Copies of this chain bind each other. A is one copy, B any other.
Amino acid sequence: LTDGRGAADQSARKRFGLWLFGARGGLATTAVLGARALARGLTEPIGLVTETAPCSALALRTLGDVVFGGHEVRSVSLREAAGEVHRLSRTIPSALIEAIHDEFDELDADVRPGTLTNAGATIERITADQLDPIAAADESLRATCDRLSADLVAFRERHDLDGVVCVLVTSTEPQLRFDQRHATLEALDRAIDADERDAVRPSLLYAYAAAEAGCPLVHFTPSNAAFAPAIREKLDRAAVPYVGSDGKTGETLVKSALAPMFRHRALKVLSWQGYNMLGDRDGAVLAADDNKRAKIESKDSLLANILGYPLHTHVGIDYVPSLDDLKTAWDFIHFEGFLGHRMTMQFTWQGADAILAAPLVLDLARLIEFAHRSGEKGPQHQLACFFKRPIDGGPHDLHMQMQALWDWVAQHAS
């Protein structure tokens, strides 16, 4: 009765909140609709790690227990967002949209205006024509922080939630160059009070608000600002679990599964070139050099980590509007074997990004909610397998990462 599991079992009956920063983007929209469809038995739980062994042995909340809310900078309804995804990439079937459209008003009611403070020119441009007036309004940094965290608290209270987990799925921002204002929470608070907007990005403000409201945080994008040292200090003081960054869904996932093979066989990789194409809002943002840089660093760092030696590697990203969300990546691997003989491998990956990422968002929300409920706090290294840039580093080898997750699950399984 007094052990963690008993407590977990009991509280499992209560609902918890999943708050999405970027609530009406393609990924969040797919996650919300998919979760509702699953909760109502309208689709199969394909792609959900938490629905398969060994994770399914944990006392996780069900998807039916989730109440969705979020921040969004565009004035767009769930119906509009879902329709756009369907029209552009056909990943959400129209039959599914119709089947759950009776919930749309309720779901839209929990979306609040986000922030675009210092988001950079590209993000401002692609959101300009649908901009929410409140998100666009002039507001001091401190007022924004207060508004965002108040939204979280109000959401928790309104629905009498056991807890609220935050997941950051906003557009990739230009890298924020850290200076002494990001070194400590005290310095950051001073900068916020002084309304020094160049010191922040939206992701930083969202993460600040999550910590302020005592919510666990999953950072699913490559934007570095969200894990500035000062923010990590704030999350640590809030004693909440947090993890990130940049969900590992496609080409990088393949790399992390495949590169170990070359090491296991003592084959010497000479060059590994990756060429990525994507369309939609995500692609338009990454077409901008500033925003692309953050992404590429995230994608490019793992090979030397896995192989154990430096090699020629390059990750190209191009914006190909006709593809919409149907990401296509080509990788070319040039390697040397016995007697110095050179050989090649190449692969093409054609995957819908939101389809691959949405179940991970739900998995991570369930896992960090469980971790929080189990008393965990700070960086959740056991979840590294979900990220291109795992917090605090560690091995990028997918199989080592899975082992770490399995070990943790074994310790926590009911």
Question: Which residues of A are in contact with B by a Cβ distance under 8 Å?
Answer: 30, 34, 37, 43-49, 51-52, 90-94, 96, 253-254, 257-258, 260-261, 264-268, 270-271, 273, 275, 277, 312, 314, 316, 318, 320-323, 328, 330, 332, 334, 336-352, 355-356, 358-359, 385, 398-399, 402
Contact = CB atoms under 8 A, between A and B. Distances in A.
Contacts of A316: 275, 316, 318
A340 to B, nearest CB: 6
A270 to B, nearest CB: 4
Copies in the complex: 4
Contacts of A93: 339-340
A320 B312 contact: yes
Contact of A266 (B51, B337, B349): B51
A359 B318 contact: no
A314 B211 CA distance: 43
B266 A48 contact: yes
A396 to B, nearest CB: 13
Given A266-B51, A355-B338, A320 B350 contact: no
A212 B403 CA distance: 43
Given A260-B399, A330-B275, A343-B350, A338 B47 contact: yes
A86 to B, nearest CB: 11
Contacts of A350: 343-345
Given A47-B337, A257-B264, 16 more contacts: A49-B264, A91-B341, A258-B258, A260-B398, A260-B399, A261-B398, A264-B385, A271-B277, A275-B316, A323-B334, A330-B346, A338-B355, A343-B351, A343-B356, A346-B348, A399-B399
Nearest to A51: B266
A264 B402 contact: yes
The 10 nearest A-B residue pairs measured at CB: A399-B399, A270-B322, A257-B261, A347-B347, A47-B338, A343-B351, A341-B355, A275-B275, A47-B337, A337-B355
Contacts of A398: 260-261, 264
B273 A320 contact: yes
B343 A352 contact: yes
A282 to B, nearest CB: 16
B253 A265 contact: yes
A91 B323 contact: no
Contact of A339 (B91, B328, B346): B91
Contact of A273 (B94, B96, B277, B347): B277
A360 to B, nearest CB: 8
A322 B37 CA distance: 23
A35 B270 CA distance: 23
B345 A345 contact: no
A46 B336 contact: yes
A267 B355 CA distance: 11
A266 B339 contact: no
Nearest to A320: B271
Most buried by B among A34, A254, A336, A347: A347
A328 B92 CA distance: 23
